[in-house]
Amino acid sequence: MQNYLRDQLQASLGDGYAIEHELGGGGMSHVFVARDNALKRQVVVKVLAPELAAGVSHERFRREIELAASLQHPHIVPLLHAGDAGGLLYYTMPIVTGESLRDRIAREGSLPILDTVRLLRDVVDALAYAHRRGVVHRDIKPGNVLLTENHAMVTDFGVAKALSDSAGASDGGALTSIGVALGTPAYMAPEQAAADPHTDHRADIYAVGVLAYELLAGVTPFTGASSQALLVAQLTDDPEPVTKYRPSTPPRLASLVMRCLEKNPADRWRSADELMKQLDIIAATLDDGGIADFAADGAGKQSGRRTHLGFPLIALLYFLTSAAVLASVKLATVQLGLPDWTFPGSVVLLLVGLPVVVVTAISHRRVSLRATRASRERPSGRLGSVTWRKTIFGFLLAFAFLGIVVAGYMAMQTLGIGPVRSLLAAGVLKERERILVADFANQTPDSLLGGVVTEAFRIDLAQSPVVTVLQANYLRDALARMQTPSNTPLNLTLAREIAIRDGIKAIIAGEISEAGARFVVSAQIVSAQTGEVLAAARETASDSSGIIGAIDDLSRTLRERIGESLRTIRANEPLDQVTTGSLEALRRYTQAIRAIEVEGDFSRGIDLLQEAVALDTTFAMAYRKLGQHLGNVGTRRTLAVDALTKAYRYRERLTERERYLLLGTYYWSVLGDRHRAIASYRTLLETYPRDHIALINIGNGYAQVRQFERSEEVSRRALEIDSMGRFGYSHLAFAEGSLGKMAEARATVDLGIARLPRNPDLRYFRASMLASSGDFAAAEAELRSLRERHGESQFWVQATNTALAQLASAQGRLAEAEQYVETAMAAAEAEGTGANYILGAVRLALADIALRQNSSRALQRLDRALARHPLGEMEPLDRPYRQVALVLALAGKPERARTVLREREAVVAADLRRADLLRLAQEEHTTLGALAVAEKRYADAIAEFRSADIGPCRICALSHLGGAYELAGALDSTLEVQRRYLTLPALDRVFNPVPNVTAAGFGDGLFLTLIHKRLAELYEERGDRASAVRHYARVVELWKDADMELQPVVTQARRQLAKLENSPVR
């Protein structure tokens, strides 16, 4: 076969080349050495294997080779010529003297670090040049890297790409069918192994990573018994760190290699040029053997004779040794939590030791000089008695003494002995003890500075895992229980009173004052019972820009006195790096927290947070609070997502606790990933096991998937940790109510209101619970009281009026409900949220369709709202596409509904749509189900409504599902579903117990009476007289005061009731 190929190739080459001998070859080609007769030189001729050439488009192959041949670079072996020898494809290259990189690896194994970096630079330089010209190699491996004159040259450039592209252009895909791999499995990127048609230059980056890994470790990242096993490993396995095989690999080089090996191309280096810059930096930082040469040179000088070191060299060695000692002390200080004065103490010892070293050097020189003069006199005086052995021993003794002092100090702290004892060790405080931070007394002309310092100190102290810092909302609720205005300054006296009432042992009180241009910040830990000062500290800032740093130092000093390990204290980032370096931004943040959590003014708080992030665009904590509160009120979704996304971008500027709270919020609110959100909260609990916010969010996550038993358990634990947490009571009560424990749920909410009497959320929750139990009058009274108390807040105006409207609708008082909704719509306009105005129109339209049976009126109402506030004038994420499409579908306009949903797909990014589908699956599937009903696809509608039967609301999808079953003729299923609707325990039957102005409402407000009516009719048809009577009676009871337009329904119910009871109509 080889002779035939050789003869055929020679015939094709003609007289221009004379084939001399075969050099070798592999599965893809045969390699010959030929003589270029015209230029009197030897060249390499590579001929593709016949079975490979058979599946290749020759013209396409030739064009690709010509493109590769245009590459002219010092580290690329050029392609000279390509041709067709009687159906065989070949190409020629110059001969490169030397060996392949594969040969060197086989001989030596792993290569020296410097050689590795140098060779990688040559290969990457070649790739960068080729990639800029649109040429991708696709088969980088040691066999395609030739070593000559101490440099690397890449060969077969573009051949694998040419084969791949020409094969794709040929008929029948012969290359795939015969199983020839276009690339080498051990070096193949995952996307290349998966035959991704979008494979690009980043596949070469991956191959460089494999090559670098092999040069350093002596093995490739993945091994396998077969090519298929290798390809599977490339796709699924994570490589071991290269440092496992080569611990001496510089960290930056190891990081570079592992980033090349990322599975996702987007996570690798973006280009060979970027990779080249990193290699240049690494090359510049590597020592090229200088230390070893110095050591060898020194050894030579010492051989055979006694020498002394010169003063410059002694000074250099002393300072190098001192630097090493100080670096070790610094590392030990951080890792072991040694006292701050350990490092300065070491510096003092080294400075004291410097004269001793000088004296020792002088003495050693005198002795050496006398020895060279063959003098037998002993050195006189004290200098002669000073030796290097004694000096070194003295240093060791000094540092040993320092170590004993440090150990004694730490032991006294830990055991609670002496003046340095910690409060934990002395038993004054317990682990994770609650601490109340009083307002810092403000002795400066800046009236807001005291509040800023208080909040900053509270944030910094909250990083401590050994204490629990009570937040501002706790203090607000404590003041409410004492019937004291929530904006009352929390001085030391008032703080002690709260602490004694709530069983809190310690208070931190502080002060900020001016001393010329300087600011002095001081604080003391005070016993709540006795008023005794347990610990005190003070720090000075040179000017206002240093106040945040001074607060940080003050907090750390007190944390140490409490008993927190210095190791954990130092592990925390400085305060300005986890908040903001801008005092003005921190001032706005402090005002915002007070407005939201103390005064309940959401609108002002959100405005202040926006001002804070405008002053410092990296203020992650302010972004987190902004996104969190916007998400809680359910409005301005675009702003909420943007704020949480920016907080996530700057998450390294958060405390550890805040970071994990952010991750939980971000994963759920932005990405819709409940599992990752719960995992973040669980990780937070590993460090802060008593963090009630994390527990509450985990409990809420369980409620989202209807695991109410687990939600109850976790929520109860959160309340046990913090009985003043404002969300704990509502989350626990919701879980209890969903399990049918209505009495327990009512008791939980009543207890929460007793402890937090001014908390509007709990009163709103109680109103929802009363409405769900059928006590509409009590629910209405609670809502009216809330509306009156919080009438200055546009949010609460919308929330209470919307709930009152749903309550009125449930009783058939549609005109009254319409007035409530119009009031809420006016508040939405006053707040500048056109989306909420449209949602109000949606609620009215749904009542028109469901209760009035008037689709035309519903459409007119919706169109007026859309004309007043066009969707196109809102941010895409804020547009209520789903709710608008629902009304259009229920009103019998499926084409318009589809148009609205198509517009949503066009303007809302796909990832955000997916996240919304995960978060709001119930609403999404309800809309799609209504659309299917409008198009008379009843089986599809049933499937969509069944998919909508998820989430914490267990009745929201059932009314629609029952209707779909009836349209499909499955009346037994209709009866069963509507029976479930009425009997399932739920606290959200009439309106959502969490105040949220974006919910359209699918519960009792629209469907309760109609479901009773339909069940009565179904039972009557089946001859179940008792059940029919019960449901007709309920229709009459619910709508006894209904508007006149609904009275025909009541009259008919009375007739049927009289008929069934054999009594005259009343």
Task: Tell if the pTM clears 0.75, that is, is over it.
Answer: no
Say yes or no to pLDDT of 33 above 80.
yes
Residue spans per domain, the chain: 2-94, 99-285, 310-415, 427-572, 786-1003
Domain 786-1003 has CATH 1.25.40.10: yes
- Average predicted confidence (pLDDT) for the chain: 86
Instruction: Tell which residue, 213, 206, 191, has the closest CA to residue 260.
Output: 206
**Hey, which CATH number is domain 99-285, 2.30.40.10, 1.20.1600.10, 1.10.357.10, 1.10.510.10?**
1.10.510.10
* Higher per-residue pLDDT: 516 or 388: 516
What average pLDDT score do residues 818-823 get? 96
Which burial class, exposed, middle or buried, applies to 89 when counting CB atoms under 10 A from its CB (0-12, 13-18, 19+)? buried
Q: Specify the CATH architecture of the domain 427-572.
A: 3-Layer(aba) Sandwich (3.40)
Residues β-bridged to residue 43: 34, 94
Count Cβ neighbours within 10 Å for each residue of 935-970 and write b for 16 or more, e otherwise. eebbebbbbbbebbbbbbbbbbbbbbbbbbbbebeb
Residue 995 and residue 764 in contact, taking contact as beta carbons nearer than 8 Å: yes
Say yes or no to pLDDT of 371 above 70.
no
The pLDDT tens digits of the residues spanning 247-283 come to 999 999 999 999 999 999 999 999 999 999 999 988 8
pLDDT for residue 787: 94
What average pLDDT score do residues 60-72 get? 80
787 φ, ψ (degrees, to nearest 5): -65, -40
SS3 of residue 1051 by DSSP: helix
The pLDDT tens digits of the residues spanning 529-567 come to 889 998 899 999 988 888 988 998 999 889 888 888 766
pLDDT for residue 180: 38
Give the orientation angle of helix 656-669 with respect to helix 692-704, to 10 degrees: 20
pLDDT for residue 163: 65
Residues β-bridged to residue 145: 154
pLDDT for residue 302: 35
Share of the chain above pLDDT 90, in %: 49
pLDDT for residue 473: 67
pLDDT for residue 228: 84
pLDDT for residue 626: 93
Say yes or no to pLDDT of 939 above 90.
yes
Residue 272 and residue 205 in contact, taking contact as beta carbons nearer than 8 Å: yes
pLDDT for residue 920: 86
pLDDT for residue 28: 66
Say yes or no to pLDDT of 314 above 50.
yes
| Cα→Cα distances 144→200, 331, 1030, Å | 19, 45, 86
Active-site positions read: 139
pLDDT for residue 1013: 96
pLDDT for residue 979: 95
Least confident range from 282-286, 322-326, 870-874: namely: 282-286
pLDDT-derived band of residue 483, with 50, 70 and 90 as boundaries?
Answer: confident
Least confident range from 91-95, 291-295, 497-501, 635-639: namely: 291-295
Q: What is the residue type of 964?
A: A
Secondary element (H or E) of residue 116? helix 113-132
Say yes or no to pLDDT of 1047 above 80.
yes
The pLDDT tens digits of the residues spanning 780-801 come to 999 999 999 988 888 899 999 9
- 306-320, 393-407, 432-446, range with greatest mean pLDDT: 432-446
pLDDT for residue 384: 47
Say yes or no to pLDDT of 296 above 50.
no
Q: What is the C-alpha to C-alpha distance for residues 472 and 745, in angstroms, rounded to an integer?
A: 27
Q: What is the C-alpha to C-alpha distance for residues 422 and 566, in angstroms, rounded to an integer?
A: 12
* Higher per-residue pLDDT: 390 or 599: 390
DSSP string, 248-286: TS-HHHHHHHHHHT-SSGGGS-S-HHHHHHHHHHHHHHS
Q: What is the C-alpha to C-alpha distance for residues 1052 and 1047, in angstroms, rounded to an integer?
A: 9
Q: What is the C-alpha to C-alpha distance for residues 752 and 728, in angstroms, rounded to an integer?
A: 9
Least confident range from 428-442, 469-483, 659-673, 814-828: namely: 469-483
The pLDDT tens digits of the residues spanning 409-452 come to 778 767 766 666 778 877 888 888 889 999 999 999 988 898 88
The pLDDT tens digits of the residues spanning 998-1039 come to 665 567 788 999 999 999 999 999 999 999 999 999 999 999
The pLDDT tens digits of the residues spanning 704-724 come to 999 999 999 999 999 988 887
Say yes or no to pLDDT of 109 above 60.
yes
Instruction: Tell which residue, 835, 840, 852, has the closest CA to residue 890.
Output: 852
| Cα→Cα distances 260→238, 253, 597, Å | 12, 11, 47
pLDDT for residue 145: 95
pLDDT-derived band of residue 285, with 50, 70 and 90 as boundaries?
Answer: confident
pLDDT for residue 856: 97
Say yes or no to pLDDT of 153 above 50.
yes
Share of the chain above pLDDT 70, in %: 89
* Higher per-residue pLDDT: 977 or 374: 977
| Cα→Cα distances 441→48, 289, 365, 805, Å | 86, 62, 65, 47
pLDDT-derived band of residue 383, with 50, 70 and 90 as boundaries?
Answer: very low
pLDDT-derived band of residue 376, with 50, 70 and 90 as boundaries?
Answer: very low
Q: Specify the CATH architecture of the domain 2-94.
A: 2-Layer Sandwich (3.30)
Least confident range from 587-596, 839-848, 1020-1029: namely: 587-596
* Higher per-residue pLDDT: 1044 or 581: 1044
Say yes or no to pLDDT of 819 above 80.
yes
Neighbours of 39 (CB within 10 A): 9
Fold match flag (2-94 vs 786-1003): no
pLDDT-derived band of residue 367, with 50, 70 and 90 as boundaries?
Answer: low
pLDDT for residue 294: 29
